[in-house]
């Protein structure tokens, strides 16, 4: 969608010697990776998982890019107070077919805000649902 980016975890890239936590690739609306970062915030998010990619991971036991969060890059416009109402989310292709809430295991398909690279050692992804 115009003006939206897609963010996914990049398993092969390391920034700053790997001491700032996971690296995320930011893909523009043209489908090309625009940058890599350890921290990013998105608003008006849709969390997408490709069914065929999920199946391929399970069959081949080898990860591929098939899950991402799509939204508007808002890293500079997010009020810090949102974090008190946020929940940690995760995606494990071997266990789930969608992103889920870590606390309840419920599927998460949309979120008002998703922040990558927060929490202990910047390894957490949190969402305001």
- What distance in Å separates the CA atoms of residue 117 and residue 129, rounded to the nearest whole number? 17
pLDDT of 82: 67
**Domain count for the chain:** 1
Q: What is the pLDDT confidence band of residue 91, given thresholds at 50, 70 and 90? A: very high
pLDDT digits (tens, 9 = 90+) for 94-129: 999 999 999 999 999 999 999 988 766 667 899 999
* Contact status, residue 91 vs residue 99, Cβ threshold 8 Å: yes
- What distance in Å separates the CA atoms of residue 87 and residue 75, rounded to the nearest whole number? 18
pLDDT digits (tens, 9 = 90+) for 41-63: 999 999 999 999 999 988 998 88
* Contact status, residue 94 vs residue 42, Cβ threshold 8 Å: no
pLDDT digits (tens, 9 = 90+) for 58-82: 899 888 889 999 999 986 666 666 6
* Contact status, residue 93 vs residue 57, Cβ threshold 8 Å: yes
* Residues spanned by the domain of 119: 5-128
Whether 18 has a pLDDT exceeding 60, the answer reads: no
């Amino acid at each position: 969608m115009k003006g939206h980016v897609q963010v996914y975890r990049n398993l092969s890239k390391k920034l700053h010697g790997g001491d700032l936590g996971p690296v995320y690739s930011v893909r523009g609306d043209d489908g090309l990776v625009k940058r890599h970062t350890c921290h990013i915030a998105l608003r008006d998010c849709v969390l997408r998982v490709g069914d065929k990619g999920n199946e391929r991971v399970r069959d081949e036991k080898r990860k591929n890019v098939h899950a991402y969060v799509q939204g508007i890059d808002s890293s500079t416009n997010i009020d810090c107070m949102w974090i008190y109402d946020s929940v940690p989310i995760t995606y494990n292709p071997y266990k789930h077919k969608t992103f889920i809430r870590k606390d309840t295991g419920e599927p998460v398909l949309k979120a008002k805000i998703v922040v990558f690279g927060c929490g202990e050692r910047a390894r957490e992804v949190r969402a305001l649902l």
